[in-house]
Structure 1
Amino acid sequence: METLNFKTNIQTSNDVAAVTQPLNDIEQVDGWNLNTDSPDFLLTVQTTDNRIADQVEEAIRKRVLRLL
């Protein structure tokens, strides 16, 4: 199991709702968590394939959110 971490600007429940389905649709994502208590709004993704970072970034960007 690999863990990928992303700094984001995902802050609200609407933001979380916007990225939930796209993240869940990535086959190699085994789970994910968003820490909104962190000043970096850290998104942690568990995967069996660490090469999916670009897919995760694209899924977030498509929802008009940005990675920091």
Structure 2
Amino acid sequence: MESKDKITFTFKTTINCGGCVAKVTPVLNTSKGIESWTVDTENKDKVLSITSNGITEKEIIDTVQKAGFKIERIN
């Protein structure tokens, strides 16, 4: 069985506290194509890292924006 290469996307966001993480968690957890994700709320850029299992960068951005947060790709 061949496994696809997993891509990790990193984004600067406005997900800046536990309440924000709680708000975005159900949205990201139910999105198809996300293997795993984390938000570093200690980082000044509030970095969201998503390991893709099929989801595209645009789909991630749309999903996070629909949840009410600003997001932009970094690196």
Q: Answer yes or no: same fold by TM over 0.5.
A: yes
Q: Matched residue pairs, number?
A: 67
Alignment counterpart, residue 21 of structure 2, candidates 13, 16, 19: 16
Choose 1 or 2 for highest CA Rg.
2
The answer for unaligned runs of 5 or more in structure 2 is: 1-5
Q: Which amino acid aligns with 1:13?
A: G
Indicate yes or no: 2:39 matched with 1:34. Answer: yes
RMSD: 1.3
Q: Does 1:65 align with 2:69?
A: yes
Question: Which residue of 2 is the match for residue 52 of structure 1?
Answer: 56
Partner letter of residue 67 of structure 1? I
Q: Tell me how far apart the structure 1 counterparts of residues 52 and 71 of structure 2 sit (CA, whole Å).
A: 19
Under a length normalisation based on structure 2, what TM-score does the superposition of the two structures give? 0.79
TM-score normalised by L of structure 1: 0.86
SS of the residue corresponding to residue 20 of structure 1 reads helix
Which structure shows the bigger proportion of residues in strand conformation?
Answer: 2
Ranges in structure 1 where 5+ consecutive residues have no aligned partner: none
Number of the residue aligned with 1:3: 8
Amino acid paired to 2:66: K
